[in-house]
Amino acid sequence: MKTVLTCLYLLLLTCPALLFAAEQTAAPGMLIRADVMSHDAASDLIKASGKVEMTWQDMTMTADTASFNRTTQILSAQGNVYLVKAGDILWGDHLVLDTETGRAEMENGRIFMSQGNFRADGRQIAKTGNDGYALRNGGLTTCDAAVPSWKFGAAELDVTLEEFATGKNVVFYVKDIPVFYFP
């Protein structure tokens, strides 16, 4: 029995690749790491699960599971999704991202942008342009506190960072107390 354990130990030492998760280049400059990975050549779809981490350009995305279509350049990730870029963070339950255009949609998400200390959440968050976001059933603030001193909540809110926001059924809150309603 001791001989078998010794042989197994030596095998693991000589084959360090067995100790690490799968790793694959998905596109030029994009690397995917995960516990389990597969590639469907017919659809050119890479599927990854278990501690998924994707890095490209200056971004890192982590999730429980993800798929990347090499043809369409569309990334889809589910479960504990975090997308980090230069100190900005988008996190939530489900992400669909066009890696070429940067347009993205997140379900049950939150966002933090270091520029302007912008914080938002929503049942749906969509990145509509370089500085544009659409929030559905969510809100925004620039306060750091767990219960912000002020915030806007809305059924629909379209935001251009550091410029303006428009919305429907907007409520202005002071410390979680609704103060004004704007249809």
Nearest to 67 by CA among 84, 54, 83: 54
Q: Give the pLDDT confidence of 118-173 residue by residue, as tens digits.
A: 999 999 999 988 888 999 999 999 998 888 999 999 999 999 888 888 999 999 99
Q: Does the model's pTM come out above 0.85?
A: no
Can you tell me the mean pLDDT for 2-6?
48
Q: Give the pLDDT confidence of 17-45 residue by residue, as tens digits.
A: 444 467 777 677 889 999 999 999 899 99
Amino acid at residue number 41 = A
Quick one: tokens of 107? 């379900």
